[in-house]
Structure 1
């Protein structure tokens, strides 16, 4: 798995914070300038309107506007009121801007807390299972019993735990855009072929065929490694939910300035969950009847942890695309991944 450079991540985060600070400064500065300008214009207008000619004759200076006088008692309340309104307006603007700018931070903290809590919940089950298996192996070893079956179970449980950790790390790794994403270009045929080869052993073990219908020369504006990971997650989901003997079909085509990638399976469809919620972290739909479900993975298939589709959504959003459930029914589900065409390719087509 490709790891992000911590220093590059820190620099990217620092630049985002600096841009947010600049936006706050611009908002406050421009708003303050506008409010002070309005207060000044209104005050000057009030002074001019409220002024009056000086008492007594002024020979040689008839009707000059700059000779008019203003009563302090008349204009002072208005000036103080305008200043008070300006202070209140500036305070409201500062509150609004700070609230808007801290919303992403508050959302990030909320997601982080939920993510840590859910991750702790997901890791507790495989760790508890490992502890139980180890105790059983120790108990049998002390009595000279056969521990081979327990060791095989331990190996499988360790693989389950590794799958959880891998999904967690991938989901954290793909958070946020990176420098160079705007110039990224991926060969869709090569990416889907690589994803298919990655899932080929799991598909063969499950008795599921993978069929590719992706034309050569089709490009998408995405980083190849990230798009490969998204396709692997979509294929993994489709293979896990396909009955033996069925087929998973991967197709792609260009529509205008976007590329559409579809992954279709012939499973039982999404049940017991809003289709749009399958992209939430740790969301798992009931894709098989309860009597046939095997949440522990004892049928030889790897258990899903509800992170793969969330990872696909993060990657799609990162490259200004989208992921959706195009179709789901008791006869199967089709996921639609949409990505923009690279700008240089779109320019030639235009």
Structure 2
């Protein structure tokens, strides 16, 4: 028996804005702290220069000089300095957060535009694919146009796939979080492996699943499967023919991780940390790995959207000439 609960809404764009505001606020606060520290140091030096060493720790060194203890005065200056530093930090955070609010609104508008445009494109693309299918079936056997029509259908399917990913990315980032149950990670991963195995076999690529221990996470099974399918799709695209792609599921006390390892040429032409950015593209594959479609496109960005939404993360664990390994990690959920 499982018990669902409402999870906090998370969005990678919002988290990026918050992270940027924290960085900017921290830097402003550091500069303010440095200025305050210099002022306090100047006060210390001035006070010490006005008091002889023998009078420094006297309660009232000289009635004609100071009426308070120098130590108390220095302590008060330190307390005031710390208070000013904290105030500078809070004010910097508030000002920075307000300054980046327009950026958040721009990202929201961008996401809404992508969703609307995707909706508008889905119908004409579906009609185009249907008409190409009718044309393909109507062509007589041996017609020289058969190959061209087949390529047109393939291109139409690619466009439909891209539009669907755009729409899914926009909907995942903008929709409110709903209550969700606990998913059997191994079962969801196995569905993805079985689905992509049908595509990988065309390139003579084998997908091996290594899952010694069962694990669970609090998220929809479809979302977990979608993430693994996207990672496998990327691996199949770049893996050379005849190679093996390994999917490993590891379970700890607190996390469940899924890693996908291929033996392609590695990530080229882009910083590995940026492959999860929306519309990021890599360099051309070499040594027989991959195909003409070399962009990371939206698939990996969608994986990050889902991972962040359910409290997880996705990272490039390793990328070299020996291949690429991408790891997907989620908090482990306990069966109740």
User: Is TM (by shorter chain) over 0.5?
Assistant: yes
Aligned to 2:298: 307
The alpha carbon displacement at 1:178 in A equals 4.2
Q: Deviations over 1:300-331 (max 9, x none)?
A: xxx65511110111111001111100101001
Which position in structure 2 is the counterpart of 1:167?
165
Residue number in structure 1 paired with 2:182: 185
Q: Which structure has the greater CA radius of gyration?
A: 1
Gaps (5+ residues) in structure 1?
A: 1-11, 14-92, 297-302
Cα separation, partners in 2 of 1:169 and 1:264, compared to 1, 3 Å: same
Bigger drift between 159-168 and 262-271 goes to 159-168
Q: CA deviation at 1:282?
A: 1.0
> Which moved further from structure 2: 101-110 or 324-333?
101-110
Matching residue within 306, 315, 326 for 1:335: 326
TM-align CA RMSD: 3.9
Match of residue 199 from structure 1: 196
Cα deviation for residue 201 of structure 1 reads: 1.5
Contact kept in structure 2, 1:238 and 1:248, CA below 8 Å: yes
Q: CA deviation at 1:176?
A: 4.8
How far is the alpha carbon of 1:289 from its aligned partner?
A: 3.1
Larger relative contact order, structure 1 or 2 (CA cutoff 8 Å, min sep 6): 2
Alignment length (residue pairs): 233
CA distance in 2, matches of 1:327, 1:293: 18
Distance 1:174 1:200 in 2: 26
> What CA distance in whole angstroms lies between the structure 1 residues aligned with 2:185 and 2:250?
9
Within 2, Cα distance between the matches of 1:305 and 1:327?
16
Q: Which of 263, 284, 289 matches 2:286?
A: 289
The equivalent residue for 1:316 is 307
Q: Secondary structure at the match of 1:286?
A: coil
2:273 is equivalent to residue 276 of structure 1: yes
**Residue of structure 2 in register with 1:151 after alignment:** 149
Secondary structure of the residue aligned to 1:270 is coil
Whether the 8 Å CA contact 1:222–1:319 is kept in 2: the answer is yes
CA change 1:170–1:110 in 2 (3 A) is closer
For structure 2, the 5+ residue unaligned runs are 1-8, 11-89
Distance 1:292 1:206, change over 3 A: closer
Say whether the 8 Å CA contact 1:221–1:341 is kept in structure 2.
yes
Equivalent residue in structure 2 for 1:264, among 261, 266, 271:
261
Q: State TM-score, norm by structure 2.
A: 0.59
Conserved in 2, the CA contact under 8 Å of 1:177 and 1:318?
no
Following TM superposition, by how much is the alpha carbon of 1:98 offset from its aligned partner in structure 2, in angstroms?
A: 8.3
